[in-house]
């Protein structure tokens, strides 16, 4: 009977208030601090799911099996940390570092949970909960799960000046059109940075030099009021605010 209640407790959902707060936090995240906080909240959900799976599996094992699984988990934790340190290495020292590393931890932790669920599938049959899904239906981070825009962005809406919202990163973009020809320019720390032409087709934004060399290719873009979000092919995103 005690074991039954322990298993039941493992499947209790996260409190609705906590989930609502996390969803609202990630939905409204604009500043780098908010994006980082969202990424940490998502990682905590993934980490809880892994711990829940481990608690369900462990009581069913023999001592030899438990010791073996514990050794595997400790080795996996070392791999997880080293892998995500390497994944975020290029951003180390910048304000975006923690968010990138948290998103890496989130993704690899969900993968580990799914591996355990497949290995011990009979223990999870019919017991799916939002925390144990892979990934959960509401899982969203600014970098790994780019949200699709509700409708295609109109090229005319893109025209104008935009400033990057990453703290400590003073980058501005300018999209314009002159005699039917698109023009692109950018400034980094108030100094000219890049120049070329731009093309918007469906959801993709291609920026090239005048000779055709690709500067940027954004696979998805989202424009919500005066907030522009540009998504790279790897899922990373850049957020810009329109300059009046």
Cβ neighbour number for residue 117 with a 10 Å cutoff: 21
Q: What pLDDT score was predicted for residue 75?
A: 92
Q: Residue 34: is its pLDDT beyond 50?
A: yes
Structural domains for the chain: 13-123 (1.20.1270.180), 155-243 (2.40.128.370)
Could you read off the pLDDT of 65-85 as tens digits, one per residue? 888 888 889 999 999 999 999
DSSP type of residue 1: -
Percent of the chain with pLDDT over 90: 17
How far is the C-alpha of 103 from the C-alpha of 131, rounded, in Å? 17
Q: Kindly report which listed range (11-25, 49-63, 161-175, 228-242) carries the lowest average pLDDT score.
A: 11-25
- Percent helix, percent strand, percent coil in the chain, to nearest 5: 45, 25, 30
Task: Tell me how far CA of residue 139 lies from CA of 38, 51, 209, in angstroms.
Answer: 11, 18, 37
Q: What pLDDT score was predicted for residue 148?
A: 41
pLDDT band at 235 (very low <50, low <70, confident <90, very high): low
Mean pLDDT, the chain, whole residue set: 76
Q: What pLDDT score was predicted for residue 125?
A: 54
Q: Kindly report which listed range (2-11, 105-114, 190-199, 200-209) carries the lowest average pLDDT score.
A: 2-11
Q: What pLDDT score was predicted for residue 185?
A: 94
pLDDT band at 159 (very low <50, low <70, confident <90, very high): very high
Q: What pLDDT score was predicted for residue 105?
A: 92
- Is-contact 32 99, C-beta < 8 A? yes
Q: Residue 153: is its pLDDT beyond 80?
A: no
Please report where in the chains the tokens 């940390």 appear, as a residue: 81
Q: Kindly report which listed range (41-45, 90-94, 217-221) carries the lowest average pLDDT score.
A: 217-221
Question: Span 81-100, mean pLDDT?
Answer: 89
How far is the C-alpha of 217 from the C-alpha of 155, rounded, in Å? 15
- Is-contact 231 220, C-beta < 8 A? yes
Q: What pLDDT score was predicted for residue 30?
A: 82
């Amino acid at each position: 009977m005690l074991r039954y209640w322990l298993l039941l407790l493992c499947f209790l959902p996260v409190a609705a208030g906590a989930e609502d707060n996390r969803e609202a936090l990630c939905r409204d995240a604009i500043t780098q601090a908010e994006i980082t906080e969202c990424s940490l909240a998502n990682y905590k959900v993934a980490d809880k799911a892994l711990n829940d799976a481990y608690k369900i599996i462990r009581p069913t094992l023999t001592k030899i099996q438990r010791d073996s699984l514990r050794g595997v988990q400790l080795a996996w934790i070392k791999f997880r940390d080293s892998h995500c340190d390497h994944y975020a290495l290029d951003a180390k020292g910048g304000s975006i570092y923690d968010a990138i590393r948290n998103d890496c931890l989130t993704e690899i932790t969900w993968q580990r949970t799914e591996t355990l669920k497949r290995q011990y599938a009979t223990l999870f049959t019919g017991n799916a909960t939002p925390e144990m899904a892979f990934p959960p239906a509401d899982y969203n981070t600014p970098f790994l799960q780019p949200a699709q825009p509700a409708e295609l962005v109109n090229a005319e809406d893109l025209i104008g000046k935009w400033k990057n919202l990453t703290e400590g990163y003073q980058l501005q973009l300018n999209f314009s059109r002159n005699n039917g020809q698109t023009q692109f320019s950018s400034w980094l720390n108030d100094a000219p940075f890049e120049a070329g032409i731009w093309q918007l087709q469906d959801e993709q934004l291609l920026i090239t030099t005048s000779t055709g060399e690709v500067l940027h290719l954004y696979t998805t873009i989202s424009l919500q009021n005066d907030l522009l979000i540009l998504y790279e092919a790897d899922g990373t995103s850049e957020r810009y605010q329109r300059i009046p």
